[in-house]
Each structure stands twice: as C-alpha cells, then as structure tokens.
C-alpha cells in the first residue's frame, strides 16, 4: 500500500481486489456496519452480507440497479437479488426485520409479499444455513 494512502479510504483501482484483500475489506466493512448501527448483536450475517455487497459493488462496478433482500425461512437465510427498475416501487426497509412475510419459491425465483399486497420478484443468489 502506498504510504500516502489512508487505509480507511476507498481506492478507485482499475483492477479487481485480490480475494484475500477482499475478504479483509469485507470484514472491516461488516465491523463498520456493526458499529454504525449501534453494535446490535445477532446481526452478523446481515452485516457481513451488506458489507460483501458493498465491497463487491465497489470492486466490480456494474449496473447500480441491482439490490438484494435477505429472508430467513426455517433457519435458512436466502439472498434474493432484484432489479430496482422492475421492483414495483419497493424501497429497502419496507419489510420490517423479524416480521412474518409470506414467501413463495419457483425454481431460482423467490417472491416476497410486500405490505401493500404486491410481490417483489427476486432471484436467489445465495443460500446460507
């Protein structure tokens, strides 16, 4: 690392971050999220997944219209990615953490029932647990 470069500042590298550095960057970002959100215990997986999504987005710039939602079904966390442009006005935070939400699966698709009765269509990109 360049000695003039602050360690906590993002860099605009034209190449992908090596996997070892990426893992450390995700770990640091997850810790930042933990602290920023008031050190709430039991959100390790959510913090890690948010950090991973942020770091990967920064490392591999791509369409900024892809977002993800994490739901827990029978002890398994599903990460469903959705397109912001076709989300029917869904906004992050619309689904309250810990509330019961009707979910249905069809192949790699996960449909999340929103409070307004509409469904948010996502593609399952990760399954943990």
Residue 30 pLDDT > 70, yes or no?
Answer: yes
pLDDT tens across 111-122, in order? 999 988 999 999
Nearest to 55 by CA among 96, 32, 84, 23: 23
What confidence tier does 34 reach under pLDDT thresholds 50, 70, 90?
very high
Nearest to 55 by CA among 26, 33, 75: 26
pLDDT tens across 45-103, in order? 889 988 888 887 776 655 555 688 888 889 999 999 988 777 888 887 788 788 888 99
């Amino acid at each position: 690392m360049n000695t003039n470069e602050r360690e906590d500042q993002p860099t605009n590298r034209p190449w992908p971050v090596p996997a070892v550095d990426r893992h450390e960057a995700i770990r640091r970002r997850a810790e930042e999220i933990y602290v920023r959100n008031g050190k709430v215990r039991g959100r390790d997986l959510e913090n890690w997944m948010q950090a991973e999504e942020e770091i990967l987005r920064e490392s591999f710039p791509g369409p900024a219209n892809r977002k993800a939602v994490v739901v827990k079904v029978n002890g398994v966390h599903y990460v469903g990615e959705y397109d912001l442009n076709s989300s029917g006005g869904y906004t992050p935070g619309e689904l309250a953490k810990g509330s019961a939400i009707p979910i249905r699966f069809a192949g790699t698709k996960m449909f999340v029932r929103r409070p307004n009765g509409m469904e948010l269509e996502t593609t399952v990109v990760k399954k943990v647990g």
